[in-house]
Amino acid sequence: MEQIKNCIIDYLKANSFMDKDTKFGDNDSLTQSGIIDSIGLLELVDYISEKYSIEIPEDMLTPENFDSLQGITNMIFKLAK
């Protein structure tokens, strides 16, 4: 789990408005804090699908699964099993 989360943090640091020194809680909203926008989220979905070889159905593209580090990590963990 921790490994997945760190991987997502690395991706966001490289590809979003998240900076090296951004303090960010596991359950904070990525969209409301301005870290990622709608196009950024679609790119993140593509990145995760490829990196973990999983298919993410569109009914899983919800705030619960994609708006926080914890949500994303849990979702990948579930799908990659």
Partner 1 sequence: MRIDAYITEYARITPQNIALEEGKNSISYGCLDEDINILASPLVVFEHCRFAILAESGIQYIKILMAVYRSANIAIPLPIEFPKFSLELILDANNVNNIIATDTQYFRFGESFFERFGTVIIVDNDNSLNILRRKLESETNKPKLRLVIYTSGTTGTPKGVMLSDKNLVANAKSIIEVLGITPKDKAALVISMHHAFGNSIIDSHIMAGGSIRIGSMNFMDSVFNLVESEVSIFYGVPSTYRILLKYPDRFKKAFANVRMAASAGGGMDWKIITDIWGLTPNIDILPMYGQTEATARLAYLPAEDVDEFIDTIGKAIPGVELDVFDSEYRSVEPKITGELVARGDNILLGYLDDEISTKERVIDGWLHTGDLAQKLPNGYIKLLGRKDDLIKIGDHRVNPREIERHIEENNKVSKVFVVPISHELLGTAISLMVIPTKGTEINTLFTFCRKSMPGYLCPREILLIDSLPLSENGKISNRSIIEEYKHVKASM
In whole angstroms, what is the distance from residue 34 CA to residue 58 CA? 23
Give yes or no for a contact between 27 and 68, defined as CB atoms under 8 angstroms apart. Answer: yes
Handedness of CA 68, 72, 77, 79 (dihedral sign): positive
Q: Which is nearer to partner 1, 4 or 12 (by Cβ)?
A: 12
Least distance from C-beta 79 to partner 1, angstroms?
15
Distance CA 31, CA 53 (A): 25
Instruction: Give least dist CB 2 to partner 1, A.
Output: 25
What is the binding site for partner 1 (CB under 8 A)? 14-17, 19, 31-34, 36-42, 58-63, 66-67
Q: Which is nearer to partner 1, 10 or 19 (CB)?
A: 19
Q: Which is nearer to partner 1, 5 or 22 (CB)?
A: 22
